[in-house]
């Protein structure tokens, strides 16, 4: 029986994607691991691999099609002995998933079972054929070890497995009614207000939809509180200038942001109970300092994560950050490079912003909003009036994870690191 190739979930938050480019055509023979297509998720363009061998019998979704729902059939794979005549009409895709019009054929193919989920709630990755065989043989895919790419379960894995003893399925219970959040005016109502004005309507792409959903969730569900400090940068700027002269021959130029990343990473080690994330019914306290840094790109932003930042030199952090920022702007980051972390930095100082309050990116426990360094009058240690370069920062904190005194301790550690930069190299 022909096997449907489904739109994959290439990241945990992906619900739909754009089929940017087909790398195969009808009639091509493919092996497990061969590249089939390039798919745009809400954050990046990623390559999609075949998990079974066969011949591409029909492409169901045209190149460039947007809003294709996950688990929608995008192509049909033929096994040995099968031909185009064996292809049935694909199941009707959701209305939001435009697909190429299929040829009229005699009988519909049986759809593959839905993507299985383990008892823990984790999705099990298996090919459509493997899921169909497992359903026929009564095999629980949670008990099967996958040998395909990235641990995906393929046909051979299921055929070698033994049937699972059937356990009666409990009757489903009615779900609790979800709390309804107050909704704003409808799109039509807003459009009527501006009916007599000249405007351009800009459809939301996947990235903008994700940003809107996550930040709305953040402001509605996370109890933010804010801590503010001014940081004297003169010692850091002088130290940075010395280091850059010494590193010039190696082609390394450290930015103030590199020092901020290092200062936050070390502060999370100094105050380990603040290195934590909210996990619904518990708090996860991380041991490494995985620091996310907001990067503005056209149409949105990424927050790539610099893992184990506390153990990396300033020059290593600088090089890694430049690489992540470049690939973020090209939308070439893999999901593991922009997911995770416990703490984030958002720096708008280069745009001349003195100070601002950043929104926490869940499940992070805090985010540091960094303003510009500007010359200001200050009172020095001798009580005299002097001029110093001062940078204003605001720490947005999730009160479920970090209480006021703990947040203040973390911010003080960040300030101490930046005002005494040589200590970060000790």
Band (325; pLDDT cuts 50, 70, 90):
very high
* Cβ contact 286:276 at 8 Å: yes
Q: Which domain holds residue 122?
A: 3-159
CA-to-CA distance for 41 and 302, rounded, in angstroms?
A: 13
Q: 3-state DSSP call for residue 296?
A: strand
Band (160; pLDDT cuts 50, 70, 90):
confident
How does pLDDT run across 291-305, given as a tens digit for each residue?
Answer: 999 999 888 888 999
* Residues assigned a catalytic role: 399
Among 136, 159, 182, where does a domain finish?
159
Q: For residue 219, is it within any domain?
A: no
Q: For residue 190, is it within any domain?
A: no
- Helix and strand counts by DSSP (H, E) for the chain: 9, 18
* pLDDT for 316 beyond 70: yes
Q: For residue 78, is it within any domain?
A: yes
Instruction: Compute the 3-state secondary structure of the chain and give helix, strand, coil in percent, each to the nearest 5.
Output: 30, 25, 45
CATH of residue 106: 2.40.50.100
Residue-level pLDDT at 371: 96
* pLDDT for 180 beyond 50: no
Band (335; pLDDT cuts 50, 70, 90):
confident
Residues 124 and 230 in one domain: no
Q: For residue 24, is it within any domain?
A: yes
Residues 232 and 142 in one domain: no
Residues 106 and 241 in one domain: no
Among 159, 177, 199, where does a domain finish?
159
Tell me the average pLDDT across 370-379. 94
Residues 13 and 130 in one domain: yes
How does pLDDT run across 192-238, given as a tens digit for each residue?
Answer: 899 888 988 888 877 788 888 888 889 999 999 999 999 999 999 99
Residues 128 and 260 in one domain: no
Q: For residue 216, is it within any domain?
A: no
Tell me the average pLDDT across 15-35. 87
Length of the chain in residues, anyone?
426
CATH of residue 301: 3.30.559.10
Peptide bond into 363 cis (omega under 30): yes
Tell me the average pLDDT across 344-372. 95
CA-to-CA distance for 243 and 255, rounded, in angstroms?
A: 11
Residues 153 and 257 in one domain: no
Q: For residue 17, is it within any domain?
A: yes
Strands 343-347 and 291-293: parallel
Q: What angle do CA 32, 159, 82 make, to 5 degrees?
A: 60
Among 140, 159, 178, where does a domain finish?
159
Q: Average model confidence (pLDDT) for the chain?
A: 83
pTM score: 0.65
**385-413 as b/e: b if 16+ CB within 10 A:** eeebbbbbbbbbbbeebbeeebbbbbbeb
- 118 vs 52 pLDDT, higher one: 52
Q: For residue 185, is it within any domain?
A: no
Cα–Cα distances (Å) from 66 to 44, 157, 299, in that order, read 14, 33, 17
Q: What's the number of domains the chain is made of?
A: 2
Q: What is the DSSP string of 161-220?
A: SPPPPP-PPPPPPPPPPPPPPPP---HHHHHHHTTTS--------HHHHHHHHHHHHHHH
Q: For residue 71, is it within any domain?
A: yes
């Amino acid at each position: 029986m022909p096997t449907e190739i489904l739109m994959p979930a290439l990241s945990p938050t992906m619900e739909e994607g754009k089929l940017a480019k087909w790398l195969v055509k009808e009639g091509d023979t493919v092996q497990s691991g061969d590249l089939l297509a390039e798919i745009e998720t809400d954050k990046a363009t990623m390559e999609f691999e075949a998990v079974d061998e066969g011949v591409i019998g029909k492409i169901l979704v045209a190149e460039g099609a947007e809003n294709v729902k996950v688990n929608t059939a995008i192509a049909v794979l033929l096994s040995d002995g099968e031909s185009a005549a064996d292809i049935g009409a694909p199941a009707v895709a959701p209305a939001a998933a435009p697909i190429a019009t299929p040829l009229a054929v005699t009988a519909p193919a049986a759809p593959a079972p839905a993507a299985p989920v383990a008892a823990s709630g984790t999705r099990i990755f298996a090919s459509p054929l493997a899921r169909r065989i497992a359903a026929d043989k009564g095999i629980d895919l949670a008990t099967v070890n996958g040998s395909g790419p990235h641990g995906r379960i393929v046909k051979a894995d299921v055929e070698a497995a033994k049937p699972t003893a059937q356990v009666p399925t409990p009757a489903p219970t009615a779900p609790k009614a979800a709390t309804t959040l107050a909704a704003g005016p409808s799109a039509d109502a807003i459009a009527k207000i501006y009916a007599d004005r000249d405007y351009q309507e800009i459809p939301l792409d996947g990235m903008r939809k994700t940003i809107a959903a996550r930040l709305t969730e953040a402001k509605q569900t996370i109890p933010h509180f804010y801590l503010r400090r001014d940081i004297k940068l003169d010692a850091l700027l002088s130290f940075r200038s010395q280091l850059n002269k010494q590193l010039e021959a190696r082609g390394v130029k450290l930015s103030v942001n590199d020092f901020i990343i290092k200062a936050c990473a070390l502060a999370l080690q100094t105050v380990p109970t603040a290195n934590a994330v909210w996990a619904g019914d518990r708090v996860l306290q991380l041991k490494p300092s995985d620091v996310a840094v907001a990067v503005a790109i056209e149409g949105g932003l990424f927050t790539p994560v610099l893992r184990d930042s506390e153990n990396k030199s300033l020059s290593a952090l600088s090089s890694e950050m430049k690489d992540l920022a470049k690939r973020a702007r090209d939308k070439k980051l893999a999901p593991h490079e922009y997911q995770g972390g416990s703490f984030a930095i958002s720096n708008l100082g280069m745009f001349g912003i003195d100070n601002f309050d950043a929104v926490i990116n869940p499940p992070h426990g805090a985010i540091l909003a960094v303003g510009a360094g500007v010359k200001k009058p200050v009172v020095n240690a001798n009580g005299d009036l002097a001029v110093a370069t001062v940078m204003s920062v605001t720490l947005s904190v999730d009160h479920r994870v970090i209480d006021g005194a703990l947040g203040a301790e973390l911010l003080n550690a960040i300030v101490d690191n930046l005002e005494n930069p040589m200590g970060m190299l000790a």
